[in-house]
Amino acid sequence: MNSSTRSTGFGGLGGSTSARPPANTALSSLLAQANSLNEVDYDSELPQIRFGIDDIERMSEAVAGRGKKGRNEKGEGFNLLSNLGVNTSQLTHNIAQLPNAAEPSTRPRRRRQPQHHRLEPLGDIGPSYGIGDGDIGAWGRNWHEMVILGGIEVQRQRTINSFQKQFQQRILQNWELEKARVLQDELGVTDEEIARLAGSSNGGLSGSILGKSALGASTRRFPMAQSQLGKSTTESREGGLVMHTKMVRYERVIGELNQRRLRKEPFELCQALEGTVKGDSKHPLLPASYHILAHLTHEPSLRDSADYASTSAEPAYAPGEPVQERQYAAAYLGDQRSNHAALLRGRLVVGGRRFLERDFERHVEETIAKNPKEAALGGVPGIRNKIRAFVDVTLRSKESREAYRPETVNGSLLWAQLYYLVRCGYLDEALTLIAENQQHISRDDWTFPGAFKTASSSSERRLPKSQRDQLYNDFNAHIRNNPNVDQFKYALYKLIGRFELNRKSVKVASTTEDWMWYQLSLVRESQKDSDSPQEQYDLIDLGKLVLKFGNDKFDSNGTKPLSWFNLLLFTAQFEKAIAYLYSKPQLKTDAVHFAIALAYYGLLRVPSKGEEADLLITDDSDVSYLNFPRLIKQYISPFFRLEPQTALQYAYLVALSSDSPNPAIGQKQKQLSLELVRDIVLSSRSWSKLLGSVRSDGTKEIGIIEKDLKLLKLVDEQDYLKQVVLSAAEQSSLDSSLIDSIELYHLAGSYDKVVENVNRSLGQSLGQSSSVDVGSTNTENTIGLSGAFGGTNDIYTLALKVHDVYENDFTKRTRVSRLHWDTLEVLLKLKLGLKQFNENRPDLALETFKSTQLLPLDADSSSISKYAQNFRDILDQPVISNLDEIIITAMKCLHLLSQNLKNSPYGDHSRLIQLNLLKHQSQCLIQFASTLRLRLGSDVYRQLSSMSE
């Protein structure tokens, strides 16, 4: 390259290398020229700057510092090739001669500055990563960095997408729950209608039944719509009729329950409900579920029956001891670590085990009855002979003997008979049987009879440590690892000694009922400090084990919902049990009444708020709560309008939980019950039947709700008037049902509110068309009130009746404010004047308007302002919507009277005086209206002017 070529550098920077300006000057100049190029319009022929100064500096450092290593630098690869006999010097020389080989750099290395810019994502290396073709190491490092950054970016995108998807699902889930709550609570839509809505083809209201209706509350006693599962119409109706019949039977039991509660008499609710579903061919396990709950709650007739009695040392109860309403609430709803809670769980365990023992005894009798020849029972045998016959029948086959390997002692299958006696709950008979055969028992089992007797005499089946250790040694030595051991003896050893609690299954407990009985027999509800960790196993632990298995194991394909439901009952997971049963459409009615039975005995937890959309709520401590008020409200929604008395019986039950240990929860449940009662009253409009009535003479007729104050946890009549009647009146007033609220306020004794609402109704009616007869008996204007105000046909007649009743009763009159009473009298006169005008008596109407002292019909110009102030005072009251019609009607009266006088054939002096008076009154009225320009409608002045001419 010659000097002329070198002197024409890029950008016009000429000169030789020796005369080259400083680096900072060259870079600054280059930057200035680059900026100037960016400011001009784009020209395709001009070269474009692709890199900034930072990019140039970074790439220069990469080439200078991280480029090809010096030729004299010898690494491990150089030594390895030398050791292998390769001429490394010649090889290095040849590589250096390659056309793309980088020249060795003599520039001193600089420490690389940290990069603050963001790297490009994977797949777009871009010009920022321009590396020399021969710098393989730099390219590899850059590629490695890009792979890492690309992986990070991919993971970040996946995280964002996952979050957005979960967020959207959560939003949709909350919306579906809230939509269902609004449809059911606010609009009265039934569950069946919601199911059809969700299953509609287009997913919207337009294609469903709801889209074609007004979305009002259902008035059907029970929905009998066509099935969505392909059933015929006749079949669907028959199914609805069966369900309706079941509901009617349930309602009779609930009605009897509330009557017993009023008399403070105990009631065996579970067995009463069981009687309503006996013979249910569709769900044959349903009566058994009620029977399980009856055993869990220890209803007296079961506890004192002959087949329930046992000679075991279980907790004794006095004969005939009743189970009172909410008897278990304090222990179940309180601290679960307390002694009361442990005692309650122990009682539930005993009740569940008793049911399973009686159920198995019935199975024994049925098996014997089906195989009388093999059983060879004969006579009237006792339980021991029944068990002996049952063992002979069930263990007669070769397969059963190979499976269980029963051991013969003194000519009988002693261990099998002993196990089945314990399985049926006959511990004393089992002790007698083992005592009779004790001398025939092998030496290896000599410790078992004593241990069995000790455990049977203990309420917790607890063995002393020394005796348990001795029994455990025999178990380890002869039974645990013996492949030919009698499986009944193996189960008895594990049961009496509570051995191997980590392996709680035995071969002889092959059915679900046998497994549950065995678990309940192993459960021990006591202070855990008295047991070692490996011996601790209570009802809560059993519940967790059942949940671990899941409902799919016991309710495969949803064909046996009551099997899983019963397991949840046995493990005292009542809230989960009700929620699961309610999820089955064909068992919703039964789920509601199971919940009622649990709430009656105090075995149901309710949430603190009660407005949640979810039926089942689980807190952070894994404690479940059932939204009982919502359950009841959904159940009565199809019929509470047509049958309010029946709906009230269910609404009363919400107040059962008002005795909760948490006062806030108890008060909330009472409030929800009262709100439900109020909604039923307002929807049915059966005031006199539900709330009673007060006649015009002051006598009172007591309503249904007032007779049931104890069921609503109300103290006295005043509490009832405040919490129920007055609350219903206020809600009705808020709903703009002024006529309804008048009678409700009267029942509540709030007479001032009665007059206020009458004034509001009268004030609104003043603006109606004057052509409407205020005394009309049109059905559209008929008012359906009863009691003191019954028989009224319109608001004017109602207002007159209210005025007369309160005017003649000094006590009621004194409880009405003077402002409201004076306003009522003025409005009655105004309404009467309108009526007289409609009857073509403008003269009478004008006199009536004069008597109100609102219009300046006989005043001079100086007193008009006083009349205007009085008019403003009454117009400012919230009960008066407008008085335009009054002023216009008064002017019409003046105009008609004036026209009549002008058209009269008699022209005497008195007629002239009368015309002048009417003209003066018209002018005063116009002047009066002008002072109220901002209070009256714009059309008023036009009408007044046209009639004054």
Confidence class of residue 771 from pLDDT cuts 50, 70 and 90? very low
What percent of the chain has pLDDT above 90?
Answer: 33
Residue 222 has pLDDT above 50, yes or no: no
Which pLDDT score, from 0 to 100, does residue 566 have? 95
- Among 797, 791, 757, 803, smallest CA distance to 776 is for 797
Neighbouring residues of 621: CB distance < 8 A, sequence distance ≥ 6: none
Tokens of 603: 């075995």
Which pLDDT score, from 0 to 100, does residue 73 have? 52
Where is pLDDT greater, at 893 or 775?
Answer: 893
The maximal CA–CA distance of the chain, rounded, in angstroms, is 155
Q: At what angle do helices 512-522 and 561-570 cross, to 10 degrees?
A: 10
SS3 call for 458: coil
Neighbouring residues of 637: CB distance < 8 A, sequence distance ≥ 6: 184, 188, 190, 217, 218
Contact 323, 299 (CB under 8 A): yes
Minimum mean pLDDT among 81-90, 659-668, 808-817, 840-849: which range? Answer: 81-90
Tokens of 678: 């109020």
The predicted-structure confidence for 284-334, as pLDDT tens digits, reads as follows 899 999 999 999 999 988 876 655 544 444 444 455 578 999 999 999 999
Confidence class of residue 11 from pLDDT cuts 50, 70 and 90? very low
What percent of the chain has pLDDT above 70?
Answer: 74
Residue 8 has pLDDT above 70, yes or no: no
Burial of 587 (0-12, 13-18, 19+ CB in 10 A): buried
Dist. CA 560–CA 220, nearest whole Å: 30
SS3 call for 302: helix
Which pLDDT score, from 0 to 100, does residue 768 have? 63
- Among 869, 267, 317, 899, smallest CA distance to 601 is for 267
The predicted-structure confidence for 824-852, as pLDDT tens digits, reads as follows 998 899 899 988 998 999 889 989 988 88
Dist. CA 453–CA 458, nearest whole Å: 9
Dist. CA 184–CA 188, nearest whole Å: 5
Residue 22 has pLDDT above 70, yes or no: no
Residue 338 has pLDDT above 70, yes or no: yes
Contact 788, 694 (CB under 8 A): yes
The predicted-structure confidence for 345-378, as pLDDT tens digits, reads as follows 999 999 999 999 999 999 999 999 998 888 888 7
Tokens of 411: 């000519």
Confidence class of residue 239 from pLDDT cuts 50, 70 and 90? low
Burial of 61 (0-12, 13-18, 19+ CB in 10 A): middle
Radius of gyration of the chain (CA): 47
The predicted-structure confidence for 99-145, as pLDDT tens digits, reads as follows 554 444 444 444 444 444 444 444 444 444 455 556 787 888 888 88
Which pLDDT score, from 0 to 100, does residue 760 have? 85
Confidence class of residue 898 from pLDDT cuts 50, 70 and 90? confident
Where is pLDDT greater, at 860 or 931?
Answer: 931
Residue 916 has pLDDT above 80, yes or no: yes
Tokens of 189: 């839509």
SS3 call for 528: helix
Highest average pLDDT, of 316-325, 611-620, 901-910, comes from 611-620
Residue 679 has pLDDT above 70, yes or no: yes
Which pLDDT score, from 0 to 100, does residue 865 have? 77
Residues 99-123: b if buried by 16+ CB within 10 A, e if exposed: eeeeeeeeeeeeeeeeeeeebeebe
Residue that is written with structure tokens 């490996």 in the block: 534
Burial of 687 (0-12, 13-18, 19+ CB in 10 A): buried
Residue that is written with structure tokens 């994977």 in the block: 122
Partners of residue 692 on adjacent β-strands: 702
Where is pLDDT greater, at 487 or 641?
Answer: 487
Residue 3 has pLDDT above 50, yes or no: no
The predicted-structure confidence for 170-189, as pLDDT tens digits, reads as follows 777 677 667 766 666 555 55
Dist. CA 913–CA 321, nearest whole Å: 98
Mean pLDDT, the chain, rounded, equals 78
Residue 278 has pLDDT above 60, yes or no: yes
Name the DSSP letter for residue 692. Answer: E
Which pLDDT score, from 0 to 100, does residue 94 have? 73
Confidence class of residue 234 from pLDDT cuts 50, 70 and 90? very low
Own/partner contacts of 838-844, CB < 8 Å, gap of 24 or more, are 838/770, 838/771, 838/773, 838/774, 842/892, 842/893, 842/896, 842/897, 843/893, 843/897
Interval 792-810 mean pLDDT: 85
Domain locations along the chain: 376-527, 842-947
Minimum mean pLDDT among 414-418, 537-541, 932-936: which range? Answer: 932-936
Contact 838, 774 (CB under 8 A): yes
Tokens of 639: 């019929």
Write down the pTM of the prediction: 0.70
Which pLDDT score, from 0 to 100, does residue 116 have? 43
- Among 797, 879, 886, 793, smallest CA distance to 833 is for 886
